[in-house]
Structures are given as structure tokens and as C-alpha cells.
Amino acid sequence: MDNIMSIVMAIFGATSQGLIWSILALGVYITFRILNFADMSCEGSFALGGSVSAILVVGLHWNPFISIIFATIAGMLAGVITGFLHTKLKIPAILSGILTMIALYSINLRIMGQANTPLLGESTIISIVKGLLPAAKAIGMKDSTLQYWVILLVGLLFAAAMIAILYWFFGTEIGCGIRATGSNEAMVRAQGENTDRMKTFGLVLSNGLIALSGGLVTQTQGYADVGMGVGAIVVGLASIVIGEVILHKRISFAAKLISIVIGSVIYRIIIAVVLQLGLNTNDMKLLTAIIVTIALSVPVLKKNKTKVVREGEV
Amino acid sequence: MLQISNLYKTFNANTINEKQVLNGVNLQLTPGDFVTIIGGNGAGKSTMLNMIAGVHFPDEGSLVLDGIDITLLPEYVRAQYLGRVFQDPMMGTAADMEIEENLALAYRRGKKRGFRWGITKEEKELYVEKLKTLDLGLETRLTSKVGLLSGGQRQALTLLMATLQKPKLLLLDEHTAALDPKTAGKVLELTDQIIRANSLTALMVTHNMKNAIQYGNRLIMMHQGKIIYDVAGEEKKNLQVTDLLSKFEIASGEEFANDRMILS
Ligand SMILES: Nc1ncnc2c1ncn2[C@@H]1O[C@H](COP(=O)(O)OP(=O)(O)OP(=O)(O)O)[C@@H](O)[C@H]1O
Ligand SMILES: [Mg+2]
């Protein structure tokens, strides 16, 4: 019974965590899937968002909500840098991202002045929202359970807001231009749009979302760490591909965005369950790589299967 | 209309792969000219069109379109004056986007793009009307992904997109070469129809000499980066394929070296 209870709690925690991290996945989706740009700066901008948010709260005692706005802006600037390296200096996409990522490692250390910044004793987004609600005891809840509920609520609100913004944005003229750039650059130029501008726009939006996610993760876990972005790309991709596997490929854009959030939650649940079953946290990166590999190979395997059937028929 | 003066272009200059592609091209178009361009492989036809479009920039010479010096304008800026259809049917459209979304992108050629909706209701009605003129049944498939269309359908759509905003100049680079003969004929007819209906000025590269004679009011032949033959009006109308072949041999002192042309 206790065991089941702890698994339920773990899943609950994973769900709220998945929502917070889903913003990262949405950002990764913009570059990797919509813009067709393998942007590695993501790992750096995630930690950048965390660092900026943490230092503004701890060092300057700013309102944590304002701190994540600045975290987002910092991420957007990182996107500008990657865009500049790629479009103006003509550095290949992957390398541009890696350069920004590496540079951000040092910059994040500079921002925080140390590798790790705990938010101990500072008010966070979670503590502020929690403060608005009745005390855990008053509603007969464990404090940790209420904490999960608050994270769930915050995550849900942010994920919903971001989906709404992205849905609107990619329906605008500029949004359509970015989508077309990901599909066929030559055509976009022939139709009179500057593809460099479109790519930079996409990178700015993506890295802004990723840094926002980093800021929110910092606020929920109570610290920022210079290494918190390691593997973030693969986590984002895992969420995207899990979402694609569970929902059909031919769905509306809004449903696609929602499927990414669901994918992110499922990913966290898988991790939580596996941890409960006794796997070590150090194995998580390996596990993530395996999940992404499986999810990516499902469509390929399905295709091969139908091919075999067809060949058999002939 | 379009004035090309002394255009020179060498690719990979000062390397072993150096290749002089345009060797002093001069060409003047009058409004309403529909010029067909023929020439052997590597004659520089595509390069000339790409230079007008801004894909490549000339080493020397100038391009003036309707009084505007476009020689150094970036590709996306001069696109406001140009309609283009490419040889590769994949190149003119965004495969992952819907038919109406592709049209909406083309509808905004030369206009500032901002945070307004990428496609409006009134536009969709316009697109249905325009698609009907293609007579390919695309007007009922506005929200189909372009990637699902055949090569011929994609070229017809690209043609429509190129002319949705009336271009000062329409550039067609072997835009029917990748299609089967029947579809190619249809797309060519459509091209002629659209050019006439909108009184467009156009440059059309083709490897089919019959088509080069049949369509347009003027024909030019290119060889080794130069225009070696330029004919218009009645004289062009009365041309025969054999005339073109002998013109080529006289002008170049060689046999016509385009396999595809001999076949067609
Ligand atoms: N970007 C480039 N870099 C180097 N060489 C090029 C480039 N583009 C074209 N060339 C070379 O320039 C020459 C002329 O090419 P172009 O495409 O203009 O010929 P074309 O007349 O269109 O021939 P075709 O009938 O085969 O299409 C060819 O030898 C080609 O290999
Ligand atoms: Mg060519």
C-alpha cells in the first residue's frame, strides 16, 4: 500500500514537473521541427534562464515573476547571437548553436559568480502562489502534496499561455514565414521574405521559451545550477517524439502543441516510475537516449513492416 | 523594361575549377516581351536568370529593371518585382504547408510582413477563383499539403503564385523539363495563357526548340556565356527547328551540343 502510495505521489510530482519542462520542449520544437534548425544553444539558454532568475531573486531580491521575464529576455538575446553567427557569419547551424552554448557556460558562471545558486529563504513563484492559498493543514493536506498542486497549477497556466501565444504567432504573417523557411528557404526568398530574419526570429522565440522554462525549473526546484541544461535538447526531443507517437501525425497545429506538453508529462512519468523501480538517477541520461531512440524508430519500424507486407503480396 | 548591360560572371575564379559562365551579356526587353531562351548545356542560361533574380551577383555589368538598378539588391528585396518558376517542381512551393498557405505567402510578395493574420477569409475566396482557372481541381483542396500534389500540379501552383502579385518580370527556367510530355504541354499552355491575360514581360528558358519557336514574340540563343542570336516578330514566327540548328552551327562553329534538344 505504502509502495503504491509513493508511486502515485511520484507520478503526481512527475506530472507537475513535466508541465514545467514542457515549455522547454515547445522551444525545441520551434527550432528542430518548425525551422528545421538543430539548435544546440538550447542547453546554454536553459541554464541561462535559471541563472538569471536565481541571481535576480537571491542577489537583488527582485520579484520572482519579474525575474523570469528577464530570464526569458536573456534567452532571446542568446537566440539573437546564434542567429547572428549563422546568418551573418555563415557558420553552420549546429556549430553556431554549440558556440553559443559553450560561451553561455562561462557567462552563466559569471552571472551567478558560482556554479550553483540556492534560493534558500527567498520567495519563489511557488511560495508566492502557495501563499495565496489556504495553509496545507487547514485543508487537511500534507505540505509536500500542496507544493505539488501549486507546481501543477503554475505549470498548467504557463504551458497553456505559451500554447496560446505560439498558436497565435504561427498564424501571423511572420509566423507563416518562419514555417515556410523551415520547409523551403529558396521559395521564401523568391516570395520576397528575408530568410535570415525569419531564422533569427525563430531562434529568438525558441531560446526565449527555453530560458523561461529554465527560470521556472529554478523556481520550482529551489536552485539554479550551471549544469542544469545538460541533456536539455534530448529531453525536449523526447517530449516531442513521445507526443508524436501517442497522437497521430496528421493533426492540427494546436493539437500538436498540446501533444508536446503531454509528451513531456509522459516522459517525466516514465522517468519517475523507473526511478521508483530502483534505477539510479545517474542512469537517467542513458534512459532518455533510449526512450528517444525507441520513439524515433517506431515510425521507421512501422513503415518497414508495411513494406514487408506489400512485398509479400506481390 | 529590363536592361542587362555587359554582364560577366566567373565561378571559382583563380582556382582550377575556374569557369567563365557569362561573357558580356547584353539584352534589352520592351514591356510585354515574351522571350524564349535556348542554348546548349552550360551556356549560362540559368546563370543569367539567377543573376536577374539575385541568387548570384555579377562580377561586372549592371541590371536595370524598369528604371531601378537591381544589380546589387539582395534576392529577397528584388523578389518584389519578380515572379519565378524553377525547373525543380519542389523548389517553388513549401511542401509542408497547405495550398492556401503557399498562396498567402505569394500574395504578400513585396509587402511588409507583420503580426497580421497570415491568411484572411477574403483571400481564400480569391484563391478559389484563381485556382479554378488552372482547371486542375485544386480549388477544392485549399487545405491540402502541397507535398501531396503531383509535379505538374505543383508547377501550375508555382506559376499562379509567381503571378498572384503582378510581377514586372516573370522568370521561367525550364519549368516544364521535369514533367511528362502531356503535363508539360498543359503547363506551357497555362503559362502562355497567364502571360497573355496579364500582359506580362517574361523570360522562358526551354530545351524544346519547337516550344521556343511556338511561344513568345522573341527568341534568343545563348552560347558560351553570350547571346549569339536574337530574333523577334515575323522572322521568329517563321523559324524552323532546322534554321535554329544551322544558326547555332554558323555562330558557334560547332554542332549543337545539347543532348536533350536533339532528342526533342
Ligand atoms: N554556383 C556555381 N558554381 C560553380 N559553377 C557553376 C555554378 N552554377 C553554374 N555553374 C557552371 O556554370 C556553367 C553554366 O551553368 P548554367 O546553369 O547557367 O547553364 P545552363 O545554360 O542553364 O545549362 P543547362 O541547359 O544545362 O541548364 C556550367 O558549366 C555550370 O557547371
Ligand atoms: Mg539551366
Please report the domains of chain B, with CATH numbers, ordered by start residue.
2-81+167-263 (3.40.50.300), 96-164 (no CATH)
Question: Is the Cα torsion angle A264, A296, A271, A232 positive or negative in sign?
Answer: negative
Answer yes or no: is the C-beta of B43 below 6 A from any ligand 1 atom. yes
The pLDDT of residue A158 is above 60: yes
Please answer whether residues A240 and A22 qualify as being in contact, where contact means their C-beta atoms are separated by less than 8 angstroms. no
Answer yes or no: is the C-beta of B11 below 6 A from any ligand 1 atom. yes
- pLDDT of res. B143: 94
Determine, for residues B101 and A175 on separate chains, whether the beta-carbon distance falls below 8 Å: no
The pLDDT of residue A167 is above 90: yes
The pLDDT of residue A164 is above 80: yes
- pLDDT of res. B264: 47
- Strand spans (E) along A102-174: 116-118
How many whole angstroms from A98 Cα to the centroid of ligand 2? 37
Counting atoms of ligand 1 from 1, which one is nearest the CA of B87? 27
Please answer whether residues A109 and A226 qualify as being in contact, where contact means their C-beta atoms are separated by less than 8 angstroms. yes
- pLDDT of res. A11: 87
Counting atoms of ligand 1 from 1, which one is nearest the CA of B49? 18
Q: Per-residue confidence at A58, pLDDT binned at 50, 70, 90?
A: very high
Provide the residue type at B191 as one letter. T
Q: Please tell me if residue B106 touches chain A, with a CB cutoff of 8 Å.
A: yes
Q: Per-residue confidence at A142, pLDDT binned at 50, 70, 90?
A: confident
Determine, for residues A174 and B113 on separate chains, whether the beta-carbon distance falls below 8 Å: yes
Region B106-127: what's the mean pLDDT?
94
% of chain A residues with pLDDT over 90 = 71
**Chain B residues close to A201, C-beta within 8 Å:** none
pLDDT, tens only, A186-201: 999 999 999 999 999 9
* Alpha-carbon distance B169 to nearest alpha carbon in chain A (angstroms): 13
Rg (CA), chain B: 19
From A82, A20, A26, A79, select the one nearest A50 (Cα to Cα): A20
Determine, for residues A192 and B53 on separate chains, whether the beta-carbon distance falls below 8 Å: no
Would you state the cell numbers that stand for residue B253, as one nine-digit string?
562553329
For atom 28 of ligand 1, which residue has the closest CA?
A: B42
Nearest residue in chain A measured CA to CA from B118: A173
pLDDT, tens only, A8-54: 888 889 999 999 999 999 999 999 999 999 999 999 999 999 999 99
* Alpha-carbon distance A82 to nearest alpha carbon in chain B (angstroms): 22
Please answer whether residues B164 and B109 qualify as being in contact, where contact means their C-beta atoms are separated by less than 8 angstroms. yes
Determine, for residues A184 and B118 on separate chains, whether the beta-carbon distance falls below 8 Å: no
Tell me what the pLDDT averaged over chain B comes to: 93
The pLDDT of residue B263 is above 60: no
Entry pTM:
0.91
% of chain B residues with pLDDT over 70 = 95
Length of chain B, please? 264
- pLDDT of res. A306: 55
The pLDDT of residue B220 is above 90: yes
The secondary element (H helix, E strand) that includes residue B231 is strand B226-232
How many whole angstroms from B153 Cα to the centroid of ligand 2? 21
Write down the domain spans for chain A.
2-313
Please answer whether residues A192 and B76 qualify as being in contact, where contact means their C-beta atoms are separated by less than 8 angstroms. yes
pLDDT, tens only, B159-190: 999 999 999 999 999 999 999 999 999 999 99
In testing the pocket of ligand 1, which one of B8, B12, B36, B41 has its CB within 8 Å of the most ligand atoms? Answer: B41
**Chain A residues close to B101, C-beta within 8 Å:** 176, 179-180
Provide the residue type at A213 as one letter. S
Q: Please tell me if residue A36 touches chain B, with a CB cutoff of 8 Å.
A: no
Q: Picking from A276-285, B29-38, B146-155, which range would have the lowest pLDDT averaged per residue?
A: A276-285
**Chain A residues close to B113, C-beta within 8 Å:** 173-174, 177, 193
- pLDDT of res. A312: 38
Determine, for residues A194 and B76 on separate chains, whether the beta-carbon distance falls below 8 Å: yes
Q: How far apart are CA B110 and CA B78, in angstroms?
A: 8
Determine, for residues B114 and A188 on separate chains, whether the beta-carbon distance falls below 8 Å: no
Q: Per-residue confidence at A144, pLDDT binned at 50, 70, 90?
A: confident
Provide the residue type at A284 as one letter. M
The ipTM of this complex is 0.91
pLDDT, tens only, A228-270: 999 999 999 999 999 988 887 667 899 999 999 999 999 999 9
- pLDDT of res. B175: 96
Would you state the cell numbers that stand for residue B235, as one nine-digit string?
522572322
pLDDT, tens only, B87-112: 999 999 999 999 999 999 999 999 99
Q: How far apart are CA B35 and CA B203, in angstroms?
A: 5
Q: Picking from A284-298, B14-28, B138-152, B204-218, which range would have the lowest pLDDT averaged per residue?
A: A284-298
**Chain B residues close to A88, C-beta within 8 Å:** none
- pLDDT of res. B121: 92
Instruction: Name residue, grid cell 542570336.
Output: B229
Q: How far apart are CA B216 and CA B213, in angstroms?
A: 7
Please answer whether residues B203 and B170 qualify as being in contact, where contact means their C-beta atoms are separated by less than 8 angstroms. yes
Would you state the cell numbers that stand for residue A93, as one nine-digit string?
547551424
- pLDDT of res. B250: 79
Please answer whether residues B165 and B43 qualify as being in contact, where contact means their C-beta atoms are separated by less than 8 angstroms. no
The topology under which CATH files domain A2-313 is ABC transporter involved in vitamin B12 uptake, BtuC (1.10.3470)
Please answer whether residues A23 and A209 qualify as being in contact, where contact means their C-beta atoms are separated by less than 8 angstroms. yes
Q: Per-residue confidence at B215, pLDDT binned at 50, 70, 90?
A: very high
% of chain B residues with pLDDT over 90 = 88
- pLDDT of res. A50: 98
